[in-house]
Copies of this chain bind each other. A is one copy, B any other.
Amino acid sequence: MKISNSASAKGADPERLQSDMGPDPMKLRHVVESQQFTVPVLMELFVRARGMERLVARGGSLDYQNRIMATVFYAPSTRTRFSFEAAMHRLGGHVLSTEQAQVFSSEIEGEQVEDSIRVIASYCDLIVIRHHEEGGAQRAAQVSPVPVINAGDGNGGQHPTQALLDLYTIYRERPLDGLSVAIIGELDKGRTARSLAYLLAKFERVKIFFVSPPELQMKPDILEYLDEHDVRYELESDLDRVIREVDVVYQTRVKPERVHDVKALKRFAIDSAVLQRMKPDAMILHPLPRTVELDKTVDDDPRAHYFRQAVNGLYVRMALLTMLLDKD
């Protein structure tokens, strides 16, 4: 593991360490972007997530019945909201929920997310926010006296907890060092692809293939980050050239209106023909929802892990909530 590397990265920005991680590097405060996680914090999270699997399996509960989580979504996303809310309920806690947080501000022009968050923080112990603008979660975290989790910000922002559950799904099956991963799809605006790339960069000898139509390729900020952290990557526009050698295929969807040649999208789809060319122990991941890029015939293949990802999201979010809610 690249512990020394990521430790020096943190050292380069002590202010961020202060604000995001608190004085104890194991103690999370807000979760805004995936690069703030160090390998030791990830391992602590994953160990707790394993414990949550066992807890849920035996129908147990934890002692959070006096804690309240607020899900503050400026745009609806039942999937992500349910995952966080189920996690809080499985811990025994309470939930305040809205999918139309813009109502806080729509009735008057110009209300700032900062005012809304300061008020909501009076009512709860933790805030999960989805904001339509890049940086919305960071603005919330700056004024909130209670922990804030970014559940997706803007179009080119991040979705760090999705990346955490993606990584946990891989971690449950194989070592993270030395991994070869194809990340496929609309990468320039892919929040989950971006957040996962940051996380993979924490580990040793990782190789990432970014596979997408050239006009939708990963943006330079991520590529520069990978360069700085000595992570090998390649930009590809042909899935067929990499499918035989990767350990993990991370598929995401592409909005058809964003490509010049819609028929070309077919070249990026996973179907039974592609399955035959993959390693026998490869893993197929997808954050869902899916469309044509992931055929239903793949569902019964043992390499399909995307429904398992959803379950893992519950465990990882339960674990994350405990790390943020536990007082020293």
A residues lining the B interface (CB < 8 Å): 59-61, 65-66, 68, 70, 72, 76-79, 81-83, 85-86, 89-90, 92, 94, 96-101, 103-105, 107-111, 115-116, 118-120, 122-124, 253, 288-292, 307, 310-311, 313-314
Contacts and interface: CB of A to CB of B under 8 A. Distances in A.
B79 A290 contact: no
A123 to B, nearest CB: 4
Contacts of A97: 97
Given A78-B104, A108-B253, 10 more contacts: A61-B66, A72-B78, A77-B103, A78-B98, A97-B97, A108-B291, A111-B291, A118-B307, A122-B310, A122-B314
Nearest to A61: B66
A298 to B, nearest CB: 12
A90 B68 contact: yes
Contacts of A83: 123
21 contacts: A59-B66, A60-B66, A70-B82, A79-B119, A85-B96, A85-B123, A86-B122, A86-B124, A89-B94, A89-B96, A104-B289, A109-B291, A110-B292, A111-B289, A111-B290, A115-B289, A115-B290, A119-B288, A119-B310, A122-B314, A123-B310
The 9 A-B residue pairs with the shortest CB-CB distance in the complex, in nearest-first order: A86-B123, A89-B94, A122-B311, A119-B310, A122-B310, A76-B103, A111-B289, A61-B66, A78-B98
Contacts of A111: 289-291
Contacts of A79: 104, 116, 119
A101 B77 CA distance: 9
Nearest to A86: B123
B82 A98 contact: yes
A327 B122 CA distance: 29
A96 B86 contact: yes
Nearest to A67: B59
A199 B175 CA distance: 56
A82 B120 contact: yes
Contact of A107 (B99, B101, B289): B289
Which one of A85, A92, A123 has the highest number of Cβ atoms from chain B below 10 Å of its Cβ?
A: A123
A310 B122 CA distance: 7
Contacts of A307: 118-119, 122
Contacts of A82: 70, 96, 98, 120, 123
A113 to B, nearest CB: 11
Nearest to A99: B100
A258 to B, nearest CB: 13
